[in-house]
Amino acid sequence: MVKITIFGKGNMGSAIGKNFEDAGQTVEYIDSKSSVEDVGEIVVLAVPYDAAISIAKQQKDKLDGKIIIDITNPLNFTTFDELVVPADSSAAAQIAELLPNSQVVKGFNTTFAATLVSKKIDGSYPTTVQLASDSQSAKDEITSALDGSNLSVIDAGALKRARELEALGFLQLTLAASEKISWTGGFGIFK
């Protein structure tokens, strides 16, 4: 059994936590009022981009050596028309710079909460979580920790692929916000 700590208990944090619980893992949530003491082996930053950066800075010692899953899509929420990280970087890369002794993984950012709950895209196709990281062991441990959740998991490559995952997540969010797809829809991967 793996202990999972999730910063944030909104729609995404709750949906991700439920999948780890479905796979038999222990999940704890940390919100803005919680004390950060003993975090699990896997830590999920299920908060907006600015908050994820702040947590990485403020909790560096507690996150040292942990597997950190960054789920953010660093959108400009004022214009809803661009990513706010440089074109040659990603939110995950910035978090990795702040936490050099942790294993940072980009994941869950190309899924909606509803598809994580139903485990289906548009009620028909399997929900696939894409993981990008320079740490193969971190991706393997997350995949193992989700075994039994009924989610499909795929290795999306090195952490540098986070930029493309964030662009894909951005596109999916803008399509849903403009009602071109539903919040139960999204992109699927079929093997």
Question: What pTM did the predictor assign?
Answer: 0.96
CA gap 172, 187 in Å, rounded = 7
Note the pLDDT tens digit of each residue in 89-124.
999 999 999 999 999 999 999 999 999 999 999 989
pLDDT for 31 beyond 90: no
- Count of CA atoms in the C-beta half-sphere (13 A) of 91: 32
Pseudo-torsion of CA 156, 161, 162, 164, nearest 10°? -100
Note the pLDDT tens digit of each residue in 38-78.
899 999 999 999 999 999 999 999 999 999 999 999 999 88
At residue 50, what are phi and psi to the nearest 5 degrees?
Answer: -60, -40
Looking only at the bridges linking them, the beta strands covering 128-133 and 103-106 are antiparallel
CATH no. of 3-177: 3.40.50.720
